[in-house]
Amino acid sequence: MNQRIYFDNAATTPLDATVLEAMMPYLTEKFGNPSSIYSYGRESRLAIENARKSVAKILNAHPAEIFFTSGGTESSNTAICAAVRDLGCKHIITSPVEHHATLHTVENLYHRGEAALSYVKMLPDGHIDMEDLEQLLASCEEKSVVTLMHANNEIGNMMDIHAVGELCKKYNAIFHSDTVQTVGHFPFDLRNTPVHFITGAGHKFHGPKGVGILYINENVKIKPFIQGGGQERNMRAGTENLYGVVGFAKALEMATENYEKDSAHIRELKSYMMEELKKHIKGVSFNGDPLGRSLYTVVSASFPKTEKSEMILFNLDINNICASGGSACTSGADAGSHVIRAINNNPNQVTVRFSFSKQNTKEEIDMVVSKLKEMI
């Protein structure tokens, strides 16, 4: 089997050819620094502002609420640190299954003595315990920031962003949601969503790597996280990633235009994969709430641990199949997944995350399932 099968789209997606085409002029002849006042610079500045308007329109936000960053990690760091340092939040509420961009940031603030830290309880199906969240908010005398992801990158569970936002409103808390797995995959209406900060990353929906957004609600005033020049309306210093910004906006436009068709195709792949695994592999189970409130792009499957299955990722790789054991952002360290530990701490299972894009097919699933049968 020489053809490579790529089932790790929650880690990153291939750049769409049309997106690359939109970026090309800014990689070649339209190279002016957006801060320069001559025509080359003005041309670049216009491209960035048009991209900002396009992103804002799609998310139903105001262009002044959209800031371009280097990606989801920078966006989350900025929002969480600003909530503590600029918005007076002395208590952070998060969950044990967040992305490390959130977990390491809140732990750092806690260890530096800048804020207290609480973790909301998890339900057995991997959703957060809303009653526990309300208790944490109600019992806190100081202002809180709640940072909870919209969709989990490893198991796919989706949080009710409106319900959490309303709770935060009730207790006057700041609400940041890591929406890296959902921007570009779900429609957003930020005008009517009670949230202060959300994040996005271009490479999760066939855009370029190294570019993301931070939405900052217009009623929130924070200081810059990165010091230097006056770029991004004095909010993010550093010469803008011009072609990245153009690519981000183009990828988001395309994802939005094709949402109905692409999401239906990917949903079908997800349920097909689950059916085929159940049919052919004894003892397979699925993590989280895959048939309930869940991301249509992700299947987290656990297999019985055997001598053969322990090497499952390695063997998939040898067979030109790309999947991950959890979150790809930490694939270099074999510490196991903190998400799986938090919801399904079964040492007798081996977990693999398969995540799909519009470019995947049922034939690829058939090939992967037949390989898995040999391996387990």
Which CATH class, in words, describes the domain spanning 5-14+259-375? alpha beta
Q: Which tokens sit at 51?
A: 């991209």
Who contacts 60 (Cβ-Cβ below 8 Å, separation ≥6)? 188, 189, 190, 191, 192
Q: Which of 140, 168, 322, 329 is catalytic?
A: 329
Q: Do domains 5-14+259-375 and 17-257 have the same CATH topology?
A: no
**E strands in the chain:** 5-6, 66-69, 91-94, 116-119, 144-147, 174-177, 197-201, 212-216, 285-286, 298-304, 321-322, 349-355
E strand or H helix at 338: helix 338-343
pLDDT recorded at residue 336 = 77
> Under the phi-then-psi rule, with left for phi > 0, alpha for psi from -120 to 50, and beta for the rest, what region is 107?
alpha
Query: Which among 226, 282, 208 is positioned nearest to 78, based on CA atoms?
Result: 226
State how far the Cα of 80 lies from the Cα of 133, in Å rounded to an integer: 18
Q: Any idea which architecture 17-257 has in CATH?
A: 3-Layer(aba) Sandwich (3.40)
CA atoms within 13 A on the CB side of 241: 18
Could you tell me the residue ranges of all domains in the chain? 5-14+259-375, 17-257
> Under the phi-then-psi rule, with left for phi > 0, alpha for psi from -120 to 50, and beta for the rest, what region is 232?
left
Active site residue 329: yes
Rg (CA), the chain: 21
Cβ-count burial 231-251 (b if 16+ within 10 Å, e if not): bbeebbeeebbbbbbbbbbbb
pLDDT tens for the chain, 376 residues long, are 568 999 999 999 999 999 999 999 999 999 999 999 999 999 999 999 999 999 999 999 999 999 999 999 999 999 999 999 999 999 999 999 999 999 999 999 999 999 999 999 999 999 999 999 999 999 999 999 999 999 999 999 999 999 999 999 999 999 999 999 999 999 999 999 999 999 999 999 999 999 999 999 999 999 999 999 999 999 999 999 999 999 999 999 999 999 999 999 999 999 999 999 999 999 999 999 999 999 999 999 999 988 878 889 999 999 999 999 854 344 444 567 899 989 887 888 899 999 999 999 999 999 999 999 988 8
How far, rounded to the nearest angstrom, does the alpha carbon of residue 239 sit from its chain's CA centroid?
Answer: 25
- pTM of structure: 0.95
State how far the Cα of 36 lies from the Cα of 342, in Å rounded to an integer: 50
E strand or H helix at 19: helix 17-27
